Amino acid sequence: MVAADVEDLLRQLTPQVLGAVVRRFGNFDLAEDATQEALIAAAAQWPRDGLPDNPRGWLIAVAARRLTDLVRADQARRRREDMVAQWAMTGTGPSPVGERNPADRDDTLVLFLMCCHPSLPVASQIALTLRAVGGLNTAEIARALLASEDTVTRRITRAKQSIKRSGVPFALPLPGQLPDRLDAVLRVLYLIFNEGYSATSGTELLRLELAEEAIRLGRALHETRPDDSEVTGLLALMLLVHARHRARTAPDGFLVPMAEQDRSRWDRAVIDEGIALVTTALRRGPAGPYQLQAAIAAVHDEAESTDTTDWAQIAALYEVLLRLDDNPVVALNHAVAVAMATGPRAGLALLGRLASDPRINADRRFHAVRAHLLERNGDRPAALAAYQEAARRATNLRQQRYLNRQIARLQGHEE
């Protein structure tokens, strides 16, 4: 097995292994260290010796042995006794005889719930879960949370310290505690999916393994809470957006904007499933943010082309969404919808209000939208400058190439 294939498999298995080890031993920091060492061992051995029969079970076993070594090496006897006592009290210790082998169980969704720890602020819950479960790096988390990398690093570090100091066991929430953690779980799933659908950095536009993992976990969560309208809405949203992914890139990997996509490549079966889900969720009422975003995605997916899209309805849905969620990305998308419905000047006026918002005014997306609307408004020099600014701020190679092509086109030098 080549090293690249091993790397992909390890990336997929990491949250499952970490979840199993944390659930079994109850100590997040030590479990994370042990899991990392197991991954390093696998990366060295598997390309040379071949895959074990049960890769996940192999990783869990190695991590569990390493965690035991870490406890013995780093903990005094009193600390070890305290840990064992905590396991006994919380039921998170080593599996009793007769329990199902933890290597046979997918603990990723369990790890989601664990990371949404009651001792942490919601922002820290999200940052920790994106790192531990989503496998996102600091830059990707910073983009997802519209925060600086330093802020994200501090949040993750403090989150681990807070969990350790709190004395609250790092374990599954009781049934009555689940609603308090659900908002953070949904937010993390949403952000992981977004990173998969539009990668922050690297050479590829899509990270399908992240988007598909978010959808898989969304389905698992929906199975446990089928009557929760926001859980249903998020699953619908992810499906409706993911249904377009095959049309988002050309054969050479080049980015294709929605207006130019071959809609025959959209997955109609997935779209139908997403529409059925969001229709069910909206009927329950009241509509939450994920249901509204799913409704917007459904309007896009049902249209035969950009020109026949009901932009007025999309703009109205974004206005409702803005009343629920003061999010600059939502405001940016609202400006696009208004521009498509009533003209670029109206959209540019809305963008003007965002120009002083530090959460979005340094983002590639802000400058790319501004460039597009300026060009539609006939101001080519200003559009060129905005495209150049967007290209400077892009950190994904595919996005940079797309923006550079727009720059070359405006300069009269088609690639």
Domains and CATH numbers, the chain: 226-309 (no CATH), 310-415 (1.25.40.10)
Neighbours of 212 (CB within 10 A): 16
Structure confidence by residue, pLDDT tens digits, 63-72? 988 888 777 6
Residue-wise pLDDT for 259-306, tens only, equals 999 999 999 999 999 999 999 999 997 899 999 999 999 999 999 999
Distance CA 93, CA 25 (A): 5
Average pLDDT of the chain is: 86
- The per-residue pLDDT for range 308-319, each reduced to its tens digit, is 999 999 999 999
pLDDT attached to residue 260: 96
Query: Which of 219, 132, 228 minimizes the C-alpha distance to 179?
Result: 228
In sequence order, what are the residues at sequence separation of 6 or more whose Cβ sits closer than 8 angstroms to the Cβ of residue 120?
A: 128, 159, 162, 163
Q: CA 182 from chain center: how many Å?
A: 15
State both tokens at 402. 């797309």
pLDDT, mean of residues 222-237:
95
CA atoms within 13 A on the CB side of 189: 33
Structure tokens that stand for 352 in this block: 């003007």
pLDDT of 105 reads 52
Question: How much is the pLDDT for 10?
Answer: 86
Task: State mean pLDDT over 8-15.
Answer: 84
Going 10 to 205 to 151 to 183, the CA torsion angle's sign is: negative
Query: pLDDT at residue 344 above 70?
Result: yes
Cβ–Cβ < 8 Å for 217, 113: no
74 or 265, which is more confident: 265
Look at the block and give the residue holding tokens 């998020």: 234
Is residue 177 pLDDT above 80, yes or no? no
pLDDT at 91: 45
In this predicted structure, the answer to whether residue 77 has a pLDDT above a threshold of 60 is no
Answer yes or no: are the C-beta atoms of 393 and 370 closer than 8 Å: no
pTM of the complete model: 0.79
Say if CB 248 and CB 303 are below 8 A apart. Answer: no
**Spatial separation of the C-alpha atoms in residues 171 and 189, rounded to whole Å:** 20
The pLDDT of residue 363 is 95
